[in-house]
Amino acid sequence: MSPLRWVSRSQRHLVAALSAQGFQVSQCVVGKLLHALGYSCQANRQTREGSSHPDRNARFAYVDKTVNAWRLSP
């Protein structure tokens, strides 16, 4: 298992949540604290793979086929 931990909320959302709880902190400070604690922001899949991933069209075709088969079934 990877020792790297990640958060799914953006730093901007974390700052907003902390502000709602009465804390005053900047996005830069949140980023530095997360990094110091071994956390990383999770990138979405398209950012990691790029928009021209070889299986991208095949995945969409499969989803479209599955949805259409479900919609047309009695």
CA angle at 33 for the pair 27 and 37, rounded to the nearest 5°: 145
Higher-confidence residue of 65 and 7: namely 65
Tokens of 21: 């709880």
62, part of any domain? no
Q: pTM of the prediction?
A: 0.50
pLDDT tens figures, 9-64: 788 988 999 999 999 999 999 999 988 988 877 666 555 555 666 777 787 788 88
Is the pLDDT assigned to residue 7 strictly greater than 90?
no
Structural domain count, the chain: 1
71, part of any domain? no
40, part of any domain? yes
User: What confidence score (pLDDT) does residue 20 get?
Assistant: 93
68, part of any domain? no
17, part of any domain? yes
53, part of any domain? no
pLDDT tens figures, 51-65: 666 777 787 788 888
Q: Where in the sequence is the domain holding 38, given as residue range(s)?
A: 1-45
Dihedral pair phi/psi, residue 55, rounded to 5° = -95, 0
Terminal-to-terminal C-alpha distance of the chain? 45
33, part of any domain? yes
22, part of any domain? yes
